[in-house]
Amino acid sequence: MSSRDQILSDAKAKKPAATLLPGHLSFQSPPKDVLVEKFQEASRLNGGKTIVVKDRTEVAGYLADHLQKNLPIVSTVPEVHGNVDLLAITDPHELETVELAVLEGTWSAAENAAIWMPEENLVHRVLPFIAQHLAVVISSSHLLGDMHAVYAKIQVDAPGYGVFIAGPSKTADIEQSLVIGAHGPRSMTVFLVHDA
């Protein structure tokens, strides 16, 4: 028997017994007002900001008041009208001029402000990363306490693509200084629609 075979044989003979995987962790979720506060603080720490609105029509009003006119805007949120037809774009490179992408989020964790974005909400996978600025609309009823609760709601093994987004692009590897918007959007605003 070669030394390789001897080592593999010894390792196999001393293999520990199999153990069961741990169960799904879950923690008690705080009240909704605490979740909203935690989300806002986490979003701020991530470099983004959160605006609590009563309904989705307020999002369009806020953007109209705070955006320069005639900028290229893409929206997948029905209440917010963009001026770039996302469905007419076949080559994602054409999105490089988009100033603002307004997207619909699904589930989010208050602990780190990460929002799950499945492919069907993006149309083009590159959209949240190529736009200069990102706005995400999410319902406060889809705000959960932690990532364990979010993973229980989403289907990460479903076909297609999905991504967690928690703030604007940032890096700190260049001369140890933080740079916002280095590899993606320069800002991220979350519109949290306050459901009763």
| 114 touches 147 (CB < 8 A) | yes
CA pair distance 26, 147, nearest whole angstrom:
9
Contacts of 104 (CB under 8 A, 6+ apart): 76, 77, 121, 136, 137, 138
Contacts of 72 (CB under 8 A, 6+ apart): 83, 84, 97, 98, 99, 100
pLDDT digits (tens, 9 = 90+) for 82-102: 999 988 999 989 999 999 999
| 49 touches 190 (CB < 8 A) | yes
First to last CA, the chain: 72
Burial of 74 (C-beta count, 10 Å sphere; 0-12/13-18/19+): buried
pLDDT score recorded for residue 74: 94
Give the confidence band of 25 by pLDDT, cuts at 50, 70, 90: confident
Domains contained in the chain, CATH given: 29-193 (3.40.50.10420)
Beta strand pairing status for 162-165 and 114-118? antiparallel
Phi and psi for 25 in degrees, rounded to 5?
-75, 140
Taking 80 as the threshold, does the pLDDT of residue 17 lie above it? yes
pTM listed for this prediction: 0.82
| 51 touches 189 (CB < 8 A) | yes
| 29 touches 169 (CB < 8 A) | no
CA pair distance 90, 41, nearest whole angstrom:
38
Beta strand pairing status for 108-109 and 114-118? antiparallel
pLDDT score recorded for residue 134: 95
- SS3 call for 165: strand
pLDDT digits (tens, 9 = 90+) for 163-174: 999 998 888 776
pLDDT score recorded for residue 196: 59
CA pair distance 187, 185, nearest whole angstrom:
5
